[in-house]
Structure 1
């Protein structure tokens, strides 16, 4: 499983032809790490040794898949928290040491997966030089969106600060990654179909969230969602159903018989976001679905204006922040898949 991940697509055609896929130059390898993961520090554990690195990367939606090794014993640390990224290390061979609770460390081996939210807690690793990993780089914001969309709340930092080893050989998690890797298309240097890409992105985030929450002792189904008062849950329903009409928060509060202040406090306490942020997210979700379903020849403006978007520049900035691409890119991707 995953033996040919990022080497071949599902048809056996080679991926990343004509790209730089290996290097013996520390500057090139460190540049790849900074672009793919985040700014970090590396140092070889054998004085004066050069890397013999594998550096392959493709994105599925907002998730970067990378097939990587330094090719020499190396310590990496000082991962930059401002990047806002989560790293999932799936060890394919060899051994990589990672921090877990307190001063404890764990050596992952083939079949083990490890997740750390570098935006919430410090991280380092030591690779034995014989290792190979299939890594995932996932924006923290994307995981928050997944939690909020599926479970109605954003977990607190006691989840995100949990450094976790999970999975095993032949696990459902590794099978999911294997499916995602086999879905890549050598002719597009990626997925090619934006609908499939979106579903894979969401399924990976959801499965990771479930594994993470289980280890942290957090019940996603009966936790903060069940604790939220009825007016918060009803506000979510009203905003989801009426997102296209862009109701004001005051209008929603009036329908529910609570003050706008109480509604905002309820969302802050039980969802970790504002009602305005929840409504904006639902409106952008609706816009994305409309763009993906648009008829040939449609423009972004023609799709967005019936949904209440007047300031197209502001809309495009919010859309790119949420989905990692501009509305026009979504529309072009839709046309290319037809």
Structure 2
């Protein structure tokens, strides 16, 4: 993300002043090496992606976070030992860690290169409320995330989106629906990871009825071109996320996400089959929220037995 340079310094005092945008109070002590900090950042509507490099080992103490964000650390290199309320957890190349709003902490930091994913606190809490009636304070349990398929997907997708933001030809390089869809997907995956990590004493929302599942299905059908995640579907149906997922699968044989993907693929196909001269596969796909075109093409072919370009070519030959 070198095109999005936000800050760079070799002065520790300047680094602390920059960090004051995140914490009300912070103090760093160099334990080894020569100080150097480079911070590159691309900001969306509800998320920020920051590529950060630190050249030396630092001990940092921070209090009173100013910004209402959850922050997830994906290392390319280096290691951070985080200490919160007497608990110690680690982030490195194999382990991801999360800071929540209101978290006072100390960190023992080795030289690193990492991708920092920052997500709007209100959006995260609202999504988690859809899943749990009761949840302990995040600062009391949140730290390192346990390995899972969702976490691996979130790590790889975050890195891919960061690269695409650097690519001037990518739909994600500018504002618009493709980038908003990407943000929505990152937020949804992040919430899945938190839900997997939530303490056992958390209370999930109760299961819903068939009427609520039908309401969810109808809402999806009416909003295929909009940006939404499972939390919005659940809210529209008046049901908790976990209950929605169980009930929806029981009545329709798939998850709400899988249903929405299938309906979006069908809508893309209709666009291609009725295409005018200016319609392209890319424009049809991104209009329905498919911005990773390689994966979209694979899904399309699996569903319809032909590539989207073949569908468009056949339509052109029929005209």
| Number of corresponding residues | 221
State how far apart, in whole Å, the 2-side matches of 1:43 and 1:92 are.
22
Shift of 1:127: 0.5
Is the 8 Å Cα contact of residues 62 and 104 (structure 2) preserved in structure 1?
yes
Is the 8 Å Cα contact of residues 167 and 173 (structure 1) preserved in structure 2?
no
State how far apart, in whole Å, the 2-side matches of 1:153 and 1:57 are.
31
State how far apart, in whole Å, the 2-side matches of 1:140 and 1:202 are.
14
TM-score, length basis structure 1: 0.53
Q: Which residue of 2 aligns with 1:34?
A: 20
Q: CA RMSD in A?
A: 4.2
Return the structure number with greater relative CO, CA threshold 8 A, min gap 6.
1
1:64 to 48, 53, 77: 48
Q: Which residue of 2 aligns with 1:158?
A: 136
Is the 8 Å Cα contact of residues 10 and 37 (structure 2) preserved in structure 1?
yes
Q: Which residue of 2 aligns with 1:141?
A: 122
1:172 to 153, 168, 184: 153
* 5+ long unaligned stretches in structure 2: 221-237, 242-319
Is the 8 Å Cα contact of residues 146 and 197 (structure 2) preserved in structure 1?
no
C-alpha distance after superposition, 1:74-120 (max 9, x if no partner): 222223245322121112211110136x634233221321012133x
Is the 8 Å Cα contact of residues 90 and 144 (structure 2) preserved in structure 1?
no
Deviates more, 1:172-181 or 1:38-47: 38-47
Q: Which residue of 1 aligns with 2:232?
A: none
Shift of 1:180: 1.5
* 5+ long unaligned stretches in structure 1: 1-5, 8-14, 242-266, 272-338
1:167-206 alignment to 2 at 5 Å?
171-185=152-166, 187=168, 191-206=173-188
- Structure 2 counterpart SS, 1:79: strand
Describe the shift of the 1:20–1:202 C-alpha distance in structure 2 as closer, same or farther (beyond 3 A): closer
State how far apart, in whole Å, the 2-side matches of 1:188 and 1:75 are.
41
TM-score, length basis structure 2: 0.56
- 4+ residue segments displaced more than 6 Å: none
Q: Which has the higher strand share?
A: 2
